[in-house]
Structure 1
Amino acid sequence: MIEIKYFTFNPFQENTYLLINDKNECIIIDPGCYFENERKELQDYIANRGLKVARLLNTHCHIDHIFGNTFVSRTYNVGLEIHPADQVVLDSSPQVGQMYNIPFEPSVNPTSYLQEGDKIQFGDDELEVRFTPGHAPGHVVFYCASQQFVIGGDVLFYLSVGRTDLPGCDHAALMRSIREQLFTLPDEVRVYPGHGQSTTIGFEKEHNPFMKEE
């Protein structure tokens, strides 16, 4: 059984996720901790729960999702895993931080790459990697069929979708990713996005105004 814990960090109000299993192992997805108090909050939570950090994953490499990559990697001795198509986004992130006037310690480089269809074993459960480009060229989501949830990054939000006005974005690809990779999941699947509240596939199919326009 996977427990989902999230923190909302940094000036972009990004959701950082911890997936915790029965063996007190955890996977950290998109560590957005920017300020020192945010890093302490994350570290204290992991210490107080007695958790062992097993993996560090990024749904994509926009700066608000990677501020804490180096901190997590060095603190817990775990390698970063991203989709190879987002390496270019990771490489350009220091310049993007300067552009937003939010300097940060550059992210570590990945030690391995995630591919479409990969299965991530996590205790008795499994996460499936689904390739969902559009908001970023190498965006992926992590789907847990046994518990009917998806860690969705910035693809689909409550009554909204990921922005596509940034370098490397592709609106048509985003819409295709939502239709083919998310809306093909059961209606009851809960989506935990990179910003804002969670939602469900069924609710967004029926009510999301951006998808109704398509």
Structure 2
Amino acid sequence: MNIQKFEFNMFPVNSYVLWDDTKEAVVIDPGVFFDTEKEQLKKFIADNGLKIKHLLNTHLHLDHILGNTFMFQEYGIKAEASQDDEYWLEGVAQQGRMFGFEVNDEPVPLGKYLKEGDQIHFGNQTLDIFQVPGHSPGSLVFYNQATGDAFSGDVLFQGSVGRADLQGGNFTALKENIIKKLFILPDETVVHAGHGPSTTIGREKKYNPFFTDVTTH
């Protein structure tokens, strides 16, 4: 499986394009906001001859969904995410103004709800879906067991975890779910986070300061 990471928008967010030799692809968390970013993503997809099969959101906080409308307009595809986060689609323009910018695109309704145990298929690849609430009620992690890659959104970062002080957040649940759902994965699993650098499950079990009070080995 091929992975291309982009850093988009003012936050900035890691957006991912995944594909294989079949040229079928998925886009995770399209954070494109500026016109130059939209053109960059569009050019990459065209230059590689990719056919977008799925648009996936790890969660529906504003910074991760800024490009959903663009993806619908360009490729006719709606995002798939957890229904538990759907309320975040309301008041997107107001959320933008809170951060000092205007969001002019109307949010596109979700095309499909995803939940624990579902799978995403594209080309010869399969992504398993874990529900890992705590950062948001509907936070999802997409895991390719065959390649050892996990796309964690804002659940788990290198040396940190997602904030839990936004609406619907729960820090205790976040820690418990990371231990129960993610720390059971192989240590060599690469964690592709929603912000910042990638890491591994083994590294976070050993060094992440949020888990020094628990036994994860």
Equivalent in the alignment of 2:16: 17
Computed over aligned residues only, the root mean square deviation of the Cα atoms, in angstroms, reads 1.1
The CA deviation at 1:76 is 0.6
Q: Distance in 2 between matches of 1:149 and 1:10?
A: 24
Equivalent in the alignment of 1:102: 101
Q: Distance in 2 between matches of 1:131 and 1:72?
A: 24
Name the SS of the counterpart of 1:185 in structure 2.
Answer: coil
Equivalent in the alignment of 1:62: 61
Q: Distance in 2 between matches of 1:185 and 1:212?
A: 18
Q: Distance in 1 between matches of 2:190 and 2:144?
A: 10
Name the SS of the counterpart of 1:110 in structure 2.
Answer: coil
Output one character per residue of 1:110-149: Cα deviation in whole Å (capped at 9) or x when no partner: 0110011101122222100100111111010100000011
- Percent identity over the alignment? 45
**1:83·1:115 contact (CA, 8 Å) conserved in 2?**
yes
Equivalent in the alignment of 1:81: 80
| Unmatched runs of 5 consecutive residues or more in structure 1 | none
Q: Distance in 2 between matches of 1:97 and 1:86?
A: 17
- Normalising by the residue count of structure 2, what TM-score does the alignment of the two structures yield? 0.95
Q: Distance in 2 between matches of 1:23 and 1:76?
A: 18
Q: Which runs of 4+ in 1 moved over 4 A?
A: none
Equivalent in the alignment of 2:182: 182
The CA deviation at 1:213 is 4.0
Q: How many residues align?
A: 213
Output one character per residue of 1:65-91: Cα deviation in whole Å (capped at 9) or x when no partner: 000000011201112111000001222
Name the SS of the counterpart of 1:60 in structure 2.
Answer: coil
- Normalising by the residue count of structure 1, what TM-score does the alignment of the two structures yield? 0.96
Output one character per residue of 1:147-179: Cα deviation in whole Å (capped at 9) or x when no partner: 011011001100111011212211111111211
Amino acid at match of 2:114: L
1:4 equivalenced with 2:3 (yes/no): yes
Equivalent in the alignment of 1:163: 163
The CA deviation at 1:212 is 1.2
